[in-house]
Amino acid sequence: MLYRIFSGLFSLLSRGDRKRSMLVAAIMDVVTSHCESADKVSFKPTLPKDAEMRDIAAAIEVIEEGGMHWDEPHGEDDDDGEGMKGIGMKILEGTAAVGLSRTNELVEMGPPNTSQTVKYMPSNLLFNKINDSSSARSNLSSAVVPGLWDDLHSEQVAVPFAAWALANWAMASEVNRCHIQELDQEGHVVMAALVAPERSVKWHGSLMVKLLLEDQNLPLTTSVSDWTASLLSTVSHASKTQDIPLAQIALSAFLVSLERSSSAQDVAVEKGLHLMREAAKQTTKHSSVQEALAKALELLCAREWHMSLEESQHWSGVLLPWVFGPLSSDAIRSSAIRILTRIFEDYGPSSIPISQGWLTIMLADVLESKKTSLSKGNNEPKSDKVKTQVDQANVVLATQIANQLAGAVVNLVGMQLGRVANADDTHPLADLLSLEPFAGPLKNLKKDKMPKINAADSAVATLKGIKALTEICAEDALYQNKIANFGGLCLLRRLLLDDDYEQLAAIEAYDASRASEGQDRVPTVPDEASTTANPHDASSLRVPPTGHIRKHAARLLNVLSVLPKVKKGLVGDKEWCEWLEECANGRIPGCNDPKIRSYARATLLNIFCNDEAGEDYVNGDHGIFSDKTHNCPCYADMIFLINPELSHWKCMENLMPKSLDGSSPGASDSDGRECTTNEDINSGISSTSASESENISQSEVPLVDVVFIHGLRGGPFKTWRLSDNKSSTKSGLVEKIDEEAGREGTFWPGEWLPSDFAQARLFSVKYKSNLTQWSGASLPLQEVSAMLLEKLVAAGIGSRPVVFISHSMGGLVVKQMLYQAKAEKKDDFVKNTIGVVFYSCPHFGSKLADMPWKMGLVFRPAPTIGELRSGSPRLVELNDFMGQLHKKGKLEVLSFCETKVTPIVEGYGGWAFRMEIVPLESAYPGYGELVVLESTDHINSCKPLSRSDPSYKETLEFLHKLKALSK
């Protein structure tokens, strides 16, 4: 039908009506008005696939000469088309089309800023009266539908029509493309179309370039580099004028030229980076243009070429919005992340402002989402008031940290450039600093004073940012996915595998030493020396806390490793997997902290799990797990693996023993999927061979799980470290005693138990347990227990015999977990819990909670403290539940009791107050064994001085007895 319409329209041209030029323009406009993107061309070629060579040649001649020549002169009278020859001949049913030429004046070829001009050869003009008539000209112009052809005038029809015809033929068939290239071997005609003044000709010229270069059977012409330069110019000009369709088609051709030609890449690198960058800044609302620019820059960065540092800094203001922009597609974001990764690899410490800026924007974005979520939650019933308060406290703290981090970025930029950062266009990081997180600190910066910041200060800001980000997302899959989508893995990889802050500190130390040498040679006025501080004083430089950064980066990685997309990314990164394996084994210098080693092993176990139902892990109440039973353990945040270098962690699933009822819970799931075997895990880690794990003796197979749970103000490792003595008299407040006592010393669960009690997997957990609200909000007993129960079950704990070793309130957490597991019909968890060790557990409450301080006279108690009051009905209920399990022979219990007072508050000239926090009547639950520890206070009841100490000896014997009973 459309073919007949066009045929009829073209037949009207033979009448010689003066409005036929308008019909030509209208026809071309109808055909191509929807062709805004070369990748989504909405029209099929209307010209024949087997075009005659003379027709192609005629179109080429028109473009090359800028107009159409007639074989013989014509007057103003109509001749019904007889004797006229034009490019419309034999296009549609042999009808003739009227073609007009350009004027013989100089016409700019390209954007207004270029000086390239061409003088077209004079040619005969048709419809001179139309040209002379301003009213007719106006009517013609207004008759053209806005679109590809809105730049046409009565004297400019032939060249646009010829360009349309060539592009249409090129789209129609490979034979036509061969003819076009054969007739235009040097590519000059295509080039003429690219630099033509008419927008329509540029558009179709760009389409021709795309079609010709996409044809792999055609040889590359020598003009490809010239085409590339012209396309870049077109993209730049079209972006400035917001001509998005023209920018899209030119970019599409530009991308193909980069893919096919190294000379085109050279042109882009030498002449086009600033044009691409400006185009990106001017088309932020157009995703298709941004995506093409991002892909083009990624293509350039994938080659041997390295972007200069200054150019990288200029691009950072574009790349980061690509990562976080609400209109950014996955393709844009992915390209930007790869480019940023390349920049970090190339410039290391010099790229810290960019990587730190990335972290700042990520934290700000996640915070904004969290605030929105909390504000919406305020309109709903408060079913979890305390947790909301904890979330709000985290948001307040994270907001302060985000502001500090933004200030650190601004100050570091000023320091590295040797001057205060100004937001002018000449500043290489001006675009980055103009973004919202940095605009405020930049305005507040004193322009006449050098910022005071060094590598250590910058590292501390990054450390706080990572910690805040982790706290926000630890229990919520929505924010975990945000971090993963925003390139969190790229940042974490950089922080873990590289030493940018150490290198920056080394550079600062070197600069400081050089500056000191220079000052030694130049005499200084005494008064000036005494009043002016030396910013290059080497003695003022500090070591960056990179070890702490790595620890918290590893924690965030562990949190994210439950996501399927993160698993996929890590498994494909051999270098990172090798680093994690070495870290877990304690072979990475500066990474011997037990937490980071645990994070590394847990991450490896998470990502090499072959459970394809990984998506189900992120839909639970806490955003981590679902209720669906899955085989592969999932080691989430707050679950620590003790001695992660031991072989049983590497072959856990292969060697998992049967549970008490004789079943093998780790064999396969309901769908028949099997967990990852030892060979599967080690196939991704070159440093660990599969045969090594296969040779593990049966005596090393773990038969029992032992889980350590700390109490108030405790920690997964510090609670169980030895104290120098049994008297904690170094600290003034009970909140600090455990921290100080456990700062150094032997970690007996990791250094004594593995050899004294083999065939056991050892775990330690962490939960927020503040003594007062001044030190941060904490969750009540039930919320803490529910969270830990969910994570322990997901980690496979409870699928085999398990013993809990607890201190203080940790014992109540264990009791609440078992109670809740029974209520939720998690029968395996209750049935396989064969024993509990209680160190100074307040089964019936604590004197600390009974003090008048809890009313706020001295401090505001955390919600958990209120639950420890003597005679609390909840505590009695939990104790009765545990007593029934013991009475039925399903649970063995060992309790320890303190006998010495514990210092609480330090007064002037001595201890103002001491107390027995958990007395004998509360430490003994009324069942099981009881061991009274002589000369031991509450804090040190779980810190044996030696293997012969009753607090260790009795526990070890208890464990051996339980293991024997479980066989």
Best-predicted range by mean pLDDT (66-75, 254-263, 389-398) = 254-263
**DSSP 3-state of 226:** helix
Lowest mean pLDDT among 285-299, 368-382, 629-643: 368-382
Residue 893 pairs in a beta bridge with: 836
The pTM assigned to this predicted structure is: 0.80
pLDDT of residue 903: 65
Q: Which of 654, 632, 657, 649 is nearest to 688 (CA)?
A: 649
pLDDT, tens digit, 9 for 90 and up, residues 91-135 = 333 333 444 444 433 333 333 333 333 333 333 232 233 234 344
Structure tokens belonging to residue 51: 């075009």
Cβ atoms 211, 249 nearer than 8 A: no
Q: Which pLDDT value is given to residue 821?
A: 95
Q: pLDDT averaged over the chain?
A: 75
Q: What is the mean pLDDT of residues 696-702?
A: 61
Query: Taking 70 as the threshold, does the pLDDT of residue 871 lie above it?
Result: no
Top pLDDT among 488 and 421 is at: 488
Q: Tokens 């502001």 label which residue? A: 403
pLDDT tens digits, 486-541: 999 999 999 999 999 999 999 888 887 877 766 655 554 444 434 344 444 555 66
pLDDT > 80? residue 567: yes
Burial class (CB in 10 A: 0-12, 13-18, 19+), 39: exposed
- pLDDT at position 510 is 85
Spatial separation of the C-alpha atoms in residues 898 and 727, rounded to whole Å: 12
Specify whether the CB–CB gap between 146 and 33 falls below 8 A. no
| Out of 24-28, 82-86, 944-948, least confident range | 82-86
pLDDT value, residue 121: 34
| 8 A C-beta contact, residue 96 and residue 20 | no
Least confident of 244-248, 509-513, 734-738, 824-828: 734-738
- Better pLDDT: 62 or 84: 62
Q: What is the pLDDT of residue 849?
A: 52
| 48 vs 809, more confident | 809
**Rounded Cα–Cα distance for residues 31 and 414 (Å):** 56
Q: What pLDDT does residue 113 have?
A: 39
Q: How far apart are CA 172 and CA 577, in angstroms?
A: 51
> What pLDDT was estimated at residue 329?
93
Q: What is the DSSP letter of 929?
A: E
Tokens representing 743 are 């700062």
Confidence of residue 742 (pLDDT cuts 50, 70, 90): very low
Q: What SS3 class is residue 166?
A: helix
Residue 556 or 153, more confident:
556
What pLDDT digit, counting tens, does each position of 766-799 carry? 987 654 443 344 567 788 888 899 999 999 999 9
Mean pLDDT for the stretch of residues 345-354: 94
Half-sphere exposure of 65 (CA within 13 A, CB side): 18
Q: Judge whether residue 386 has pLDDT over 70.
A: no
| Averaged pLDDT for residues 689-694 | 40
234 near 278, Cβ under 8 Å?
no
Name the DSSP letter for residue 860: P
83: left (phi over 0), alpha (psi -120 to 50) or beta: left
Band the pLDDT of 402: cuts 50, 70, 90. very high
Most confident residue range from 61-65, 190-194, 657-661, 861-865: 190-194
pLDDT at position 529 is: 39
Q: Which region among 15-24, 286-295, 460-469 has the lowest average model confidence (pLDDT)?
A: 15-24
Question: Pick from 326, 330, 320, 393: which is nearest to 360 by CA?
Answer: 320
For 158-172, 478-492, 706-720, which range has the lowest pLDDT when averaged over its residues?
158-172
Residue 856: pLDDT over 80? no
pLDDT at res. 875: 87
The stretch 77-95 carries a mean pLDDT of: 38
pLDDT at 459 over 80: yes
Band (pLDDT 50/70/90 cuts) for residue 17 is very low
End-to-end CA distance of the chain: 85
**Per-residue confidence (pLDDT) for residue 340, from 0 to 100:** 96
Q: Quote the pLDDT of residue 56.
A: 87
> At residue 778, what is the residue type?
S
179 and 56 Cβ atoms separated by less than 8 Å: yes
Which amino acid would we find at residue 916?
Answer: E
pLDDT at 168: 84
